[in-house]
Amino acid sequence: MSTNIIVDAIDVTKAYGDFKALEGLSLQVERGGVWALLGPNGAGKTTFLKCLLGLKQFTGQIKIDGYDIQKDPKKAKHQIGYVPQHPTLYNDMTVQESLRYFGDMRDVKRSRLRELLEFVGLELWARQPVGALSGGMQQRLMLAVALLSDPPVLLLDEPTANLDVNRQVEFRNLISLLVKEGKTVVLTTHLLGDVDHIAEKIMLLNKGKLVVKSSVADLFKQLDLTSQMFVEIPDASKEQDAISALEKAGANDIEVKGSWYEMRIDPSKKVSILNNLRAKECEITDFKIEEPNLEDAFKKITAGDGN
């Protein structure tokens, strides 16, 4: 399929008795890039992921690269590679045997197996049993399994939750390479710090509905979330000049506490604020910035809804 929409969910509802885990959920994922599926516990993330994978029956419609997951499940599932949070591998098999096992089920050529081992950096561990691998290595092996049939869409469930910082960076680098190759990645995570590092766009679910679909930067603008800036200017005689320079540069809620000036700023104004202060000959001995984060955004979005 050549359309720009690679995941198209229309009026998806999944109920368990009277409880609706998903309620009339509609969203579209454009081809390419990394999309983060976020939301508080019970928002419907896991349920939606299972619907995408064809593991749950639901009302409504989901198409993966044009194929309906309920009407044409075989073709739809062929468009998806899935990496679960906890690796589902056989510990007594070697890395190479594991790839061959899953590859044979999908009629994958052996040359493809070698390519994937090299891509995920496990070629030197090909003869090692899976049970001897670290968590990060097992996660990379699961990624190789998900890529066997070269699907256009990758679904990653909490991909870095069980990895240390170094392994998280390695895994994010692999995802970046896949995006450059044209893959579309949809991930769920509760580690909001991951999102700023890896995802270009977010989809926020709350109570089974889509409440936000946006880039992180645009979300902060929509919610009027600003950065907090702290600037140290020891010379007390420059206070009026400093305040004038800060106001001219667009700083808001300026407070002077000793030699420190605290303010709210648009993230794009950082350089102009420093330049304005220097133009007023205000000697800056230190400064720091606290950027807005997704936790702040989620609190603002879900305020008053009981979450």
Give the tens place of pLDDT for each residue, 23-47.
999 999 999 999 999 888 888 999 9
Q: Exposure of 166 by Cβ count < 10 A (0-12 exposed, 13-18 middle, 19+ buried)?
A: exposed
pLDDT at 86 over 90: no
Looking at residue 41, its pLDDT comes to 80
CA–CA gap between residue 185 and residue 175 (Å, rounded): 8
Tokens of 165: 């910082």
Q: Exposure of 285 by Cβ count < 10 A (0-12 exposed, 13-18 middle, 19+ buried)?
A: exposed
Looking at residue 124, its pLDDT comes to 95
pLDDT at 1 over 80: no
pLDDT at 62 over 90: yes
Domain 226-291 has CATH 3.40.50.300: no
Confidence of residue 253 (pLDDT cuts 50, 70, 90): very high
pLDDT at 295 over 50: yes
CA–CA gap between residue 12 and residue 57 (Å, rounded): 10
pLDDT at 193 over 80: no
Looking at residue 152, its pLDDT comes to 97
CATH superfamily of 5-221: P-loop containing nucleotide triphosphate hydrolases (3.40.50.300)
Mean pLDDT of the region 288-297: 84
Decide the pairing of beta strands 260-265 and 252-257. Answer: antiparallel
Domain with CATH 3.30.70.100 in the chain: 226-291
* pTM for this predicted structure: 0.79
